[in-house]
Chains A and B, each alone.
Chain A
Amino acid sequence: MEILKTENLRHRFSDGTFGIDGISLSVQKGEFVIIAGANGCGKTTFLRHLNGLLMPYEGSVTVDGISVAKNPRRARQKVGMVFQDADSQIVGETVYEDVAFGPENLCLERSEVRQRVDTALQSVGLDKFADRRPHLLSGGEKRRVAIAGILAMQSEIFIFDEPFSNLDYPGVRQVLQQILMLHQKGHTILLTTHDLEKVLSHASRLIIMQKGKIVRDGAPETAVKGCDVFGVREPFASRQGLKLTSWLN
């Protein structure tokens, strides 16, 4: 079942250059898609079209059959986004408040907000952190707070923009475990990275972008071959002709 679709999507910056240049893509429900590419290839710009943070210059984006341009509020509820810089997206004074921010924006009843926040915090293993200040948490914990914030909005699609940047090894493992848990529960995952080593073995599809266009799209094992030419390092195992391995093993 198709949950997300873009057709000939183009985005033009104010200087006249195209950040995204004619992307047509269809994502099925429950897929785990990695979007890779060098810095400045348009990954983040593309992701911001999927929940209406940016509107297309040309083309269209539909989420679950409904145009994002026509109903951006619905798109933002359906498509949750975890940003690269965890610090600047934390709004609440405590972990509880931050997770409650999304449900409160949806104008839910206070009891419903409370129930959703408790469930979301339990899901990411942060229920004991409800009264802690988010800025004093570790990098991995901050990203789990961000994930809980989206879980509380009951989004179906999770978008991760460079989720492993600035994280140490335990932090990467924590976040990766959360992403896999979400995927196992049936959520559709779109994740951007330029470091495939950490996550590729878990993905069902790899898309490589260059200069605002999709240049590769396919199964991870095949699409990753020779991807160095696009500014993305091919994982060691793939270079050696070995099976891709998980960072969780």
Chain B
Amino acid sequence: MAELSEFSFRPGRSALHRLDARFKLVFLMLLSLRILHAGFSGLGLFTSLLLLSLLHLRLSFFSLIKEMRYFLFLLFFVFLARAAFMPGEPLFHWWEFSLSREGSFEGLLICWRLVTVVLLGLCFVCTTRSSEIRGAAEWLLRPIPLIPEKRAGIMLSLLIRFIPLILTQAKETAEAQRARGIELRKNPLYRLKKFAIPFLRRMFADADRLIVAMDARSYSENRTPPEFCAGKQDWIALAAVTMLCVLSFFL
């Protein structure tokens, strides 16, 4: 049985669940762009609202942090790189290394922005079915020439749908390697090679099986389109998001 992952759709009837997926996708783009340019006060506002949304969706913060641990680890290095290489007033000094005050603030700001965008994406993925995401992506891409919107939509929905499975398979492969003493080998390249080859082989074999299963069920790009219905609440939400974005300019 697969494990529960926070980064997948959770059935529910919350206000976020009830919003039209096309609006949610537009909100995701607008807010992400704004968050990536926001300062500390703006980020404080966005983060508070997102944390309230996550509480409303009853997501477990502990498992969320657990699942994001590698990402947080990466962010730690982003912070260190900024703090160490940006010139400015020294905040901390040890031997040849020093962290500047300006660099630390800058690093913290970048990391905070990235975490906020990930939390925003999480809210979107948790409250939107992959078929709705596919339909919304198709709708958004339709006016853009040279992009096969239906193919792009199904690729996006399959990617989102298979992320939990990919994570489960990576965990199983790592456990199988540990069971055979891979931790005794200290060379990280050797360990990476021994992990990547069976993992990728399994992923490609699964992708092959999925294609056959989709073919067996008459898959084609011409399918029944998803049903969208924009209501009053979607327009109210659009107005609120626009106001939030405008407000964040002044914070």
Would A132 and B11 count as touching, CB distance under 8 A?
yes
Would B227 and A92 count as touching, CB distance under 8 A?
no
Would A94 and B11 count as touching, CB distance under 8 A?
yes
Would A109 and B210 count as touching, CB distance under 8 A?
no
Enumerate B178-224 residues with CB–CB distance to A below 8 Å.
Answer: 206, 209-210, 212-220, 222-224
Would A107 and B165 count as touching, CB distance under 8 A?
no
Give CA–CA (A132, B4) in the complex, Å. Answer: 12
Least CB distance from B17 to A in Å reads 11
Q: Quick one: given A93-B129, A94-B129, A136-B1, are A83 and B213 in contact (CB under 8 Å)? A: yes
For B4, the chain A residues whose CB sits under 8 A away are: 136
Would A101 and B210 count as touching, CB distance under 8 A?
no
Least CB distance from A30 to B in Å reads 22
Would B223 and A105 count as touching, CB distance under 8 A?
yes
Would A102 and B217 count as touching, CB distance under 8 A?
yes
CB of B9 closer than 8 Å to a CB of A:
yes
From A73-81, A212-220, A232-240, give the one contacting chain B. Answer: A73-81
CB of B44 closer than 8 Å to a CB of A:
no
For B161, the chain A residues whose CB sits under 8 A away are: 91-93
For A181, the chain B residues whose CB sits under 8 A away are: none
Would B130 and A105 count as touching, CB distance under 8 A?
no
Q: Quick one: given A53-B216, A76-B217, A83-B213, are A103 and B8 in contact (CB under 8 Å)? A: no
Would B130 and A93 count as touching, CB distance under 8 A?
yes
B-facing mask of A137-149, CB < 8 A → 1, else 0? 1100000000001
For B209, the chain A residues whose CB sits under 8 A away are: 83, 85, 88-89
Would B9 and A93 count as touching, CB distance under 8 A?
yes
Q: Quick one: given A53-B212, A135-B165, are A104 and B9 in contact (CB under 8 Å)? A: no
Residue among B212, B213, B218, B219 facing the most chain A CB atoms (10 A cut-off): B218
CB of B164 closer than 8 Å to a CB of A:
yes
Would A92 and B212 count as touching, CB distance under 8 A?
no
Least CB distance from B167 to A in Å reads 12
Would B210 and A88 count as touching, CB distance under 8 A?
yes
Would A102 and B131 count as touching, CB distance under 8 A?
no
CB of A192 closer than 8 Å to a CB of B:
no
Q: Which one of B2, B210, B218 contacts A153 once the chains associate, using CB atoms below 8 Å?
A: B218
Would A53 and B218 count as touching, CB distance under 8 A?
no
Would A105 and B9 count as touching, CB distance under 8 A?
no
Give CA–CA (A9, B50) in the complex, Å. Answer: 60
Give CA–CA (A76, B220) in the complex, Å. Answer: 12
Give CA–CA (A87, B3) in the complex, Å. Answer: 13
Q: Quick one: given A102-B218, A153-B218, are A110 and B224 in contact (CB under 8 Å)? A: yes
CB of A131 closer than 8 Å to a CB of B:
yes
For B130, the chain A residues whose CB sits under 8 A away are: 92-93, 97
For B214, the chain A residues whose CB sits under 8 A away are: 91, 101
Would A53 and B129 count as touching, CB distance under 8 A?
no
Give CA–CA (A206, B4) in the complex, Å. Answer: 42
CB of A51 closer than 8 Å to a CB of B:
yes
The 5 closest A-B pairs by CB, nearest first: A89-B213, A131-B11, A88-B209, A135-B2, A104-B224
Contacts from A to B (Cβ < 8 Å): 48, 51, 53, 73, 76-77, 80-81, 83, 85, 87-89, 91-94, 97, 100-110, 113, 131-133, 135-138, 149-150, 153
* Given A89-B210, A105-B219, A107-B223, 10 further pairs, Cβ under 8 A: A83-B212, A83-B216, A88-B206, A91-B213, A106-B224, A107-B222, A131-B11, A133-B8, A133-B9, A153-B218
